[in-house]
Structure 1
Amino acid sequence: MAKQVDMSEVWPTPALFRAARGLLNMGQDELAARNGYVRKTVILIENHVDPTMDTRRQEVVEVLAAFLEGQGIEFIRPQDGKGGGVRFANGKREAQTVSEVRHLIEERRGSRRKAVSVDARKKAKKKPSKRKSA
């Protein structure tokens, strides 16, 4: 059995991993694939609740944290009674990500509008049914 470490020695925390991915608008699949892991590895790390962690998994945490930091993420350690956090390391990366997310939102809205428009045209082409009156 592999050696276990106390979760107080594991940084960043599972919750901060999820938050960092959210800031980057990055899915578990992408984070895993870009680092040579499978999605299940990321899921296990992000959902970890035990008081200890296997040292092998801790090594994966360190690799993924370094990758996220390379993507412009900064993990903030708890201090002065305040909890840890995650933020963009610089405003330029934040602005880029916000722009990317806005673009994705607009694309999705456009495809929904297009689908609704097609459905409306199909309904308009249908002839109203003639009902027999008694």
Structure 2
Amino acid sequence: MNSPEDLDRLAADWIALWESELAGLGQDAELAEAWSASVALMAAFWRAQSAQMAAAAKWQAPHEPGTPSSSPAGPAPAQPAPDPGRQPGDGGDDDAAALRARLAELERRLAALEGGPGGGSPDRRKPRAPRRKP
């Protein structure tokens, strides 16, 4: 089995085996139908996924100051342009104030999404009562 002729014969036998297997699979009507259904399902999934991704990208797109936001909380506040000569984090109180303002805005938007303070939205599910042992 160490001679090149033996390896060539083994390779030819292996290729012939796979060719016969693939030819047999190609003639199986049930397999062809299953593959067709699988490909159609994957295509439908990717169409829906791409539509969802497009909607998410539109929702999360940054808005110019003064233009309406797609957020239910309203337009995002205008952020001051960063100073090109200043590195982030070296502003001291300015950075802390900006972070506090951003945090307050995020909390306001989150409260609006949750239906108000405490998340008391009317469509929110009530927590289930714990089970009692009989």
TM-score, normalisation: structure 1: 0.33
Larger radius of gyration: 2
TM-score, normalisation: structure 2: 0.33
**Between structures 1 and 2, the one with greater strand share:** 1
Report which structure shows greater RCO (CA 8 Å, sep ≥6): 1
